[in-house]
Amino acid sequence: MSFASLKKSSASSFAKLTQEIEKISNPSGGGGADERFWKPELDKSGNGYAVIRFLPAPDGEDIPFAKVWSHAFQGPGGWYIENSLTTLNKKDPVGELNRQLWNSGNDSDKEIARKQKRKLSYYANIMVVKDPLHPENEGQVKLYKFGKKIFDKIIEAMQPQFEDETPVNVFDPWGGADFKLKIVKKDGFWNYDKSEFTSASPMFGGDDAEIEAVWNKEYSLSAFTDAGNFKTFEELETRLNSVLNSKPAAPKFDESLEDESEGLHKPAPQDWTKEIDAVKEKTVAAAPAKDDDDVMSYFASLASEE
């Protein structure tokens, strides 16, 4: 898609984007630092502030964000940190096991399923408008990973609750709006409730040359949901069995199921009896281990992405 086509379709694409958001809102059914990504930081007072602008879909793609389900939990044999095949609308071994656990009728099994929850993350291109702690980021195009709380803010702007509010396509360079990211610590977690979009205004005062220059710097989002970047069911199943059936490891981290609906369907035909028994006997309450820097860094990021 050319830049001219992007500008021409900025209004009509709003309807298509709204449909995609409705699909997500009403569903039917680790490594080293990556320089492409931007992440806010807290200041000395424990608060965070930045201004960013969500950008349209990159060249050749239709949707300005990608969504990925993942699992991150500890079993007797160590950590299971993997993207979920449910992202691709396929069966995933953890989801299959969680369904059987949830439908067993035992509260203890439901608690295990909660600890093996899915986590939903979104990825989008942004331009950093203001970053007080790292002003060198300002004006740069980055990838931004965020969770449901911020995505809800996007939905609220695009699908306002009251008649006197005007819908805003926050991804539109001409009719969108800057996003004020305001972070406070609440119960030990980052809270984004005070974050908000400003009034709608064009980027760079509507200067097409500058908007196009930013658009040309965007990163592809399709790779996040490319089937080739996901492990197969069999590979994930092997890893899951290793995590659930090995000798007990030191207790680390405790999580609750974010989307319990993945356990509300009929049990899969596969028999997970041995795995369930192993988990019942060996799984222990999780609390962080101080010597696992990589895993703790990963979960620190999860805690801040509400």
Q: Domain limits of the chain?
A: 3-304
Res 250: pLDDT:
45
Res 247: pLDDT:
53
**CATH architecture, domain defined by 3-304:** Alpha-Beta Complex (3.90)
Res 16: pLDDT:
60
List alpha helices for the chain, DSSP H: 3-8, 12-25, 93-102, 107-115, 148-158, 208-215, 233-245, 273-282, 293-304
Tokens standing for 48? 């965070």
CA–CA distance, 193 with 156 (Å, rounded to integer): 12
pTM: 0.71
Burial class (CB in 10 A: 0-12, 13-18, 19+), 5: exposed
235-254 per-position pLDDT tens digit = 999 999 999 985 544 444 33
Backbone dihedral angles phi then psi of residue 293, each to the nearest 5 degrees:
-65, -40
Tokens standing for 200? 């709608």
How confident is the prediction along the chain (306 residues), in pLDDT tens digits per residue? 677 777 766 666 666 666 555 555 444 434 457 899 999 999 999 999 999 999 999 999 999 999 999 999 999 999 999 999 999 999 999 999 999 999 998 999 999 999 999 999 999 999 999 999 999 999 999 999 999 999 999 999 999 999 999 999 999 999 999 999 999 998 888 999 999 999 999 999 999 999 999 999 999 999 999 999 999 999 999 999 999 985 544 444 333 333 333 333 343 445 556 655 655 565 544 444 444 455 455 445 555 555
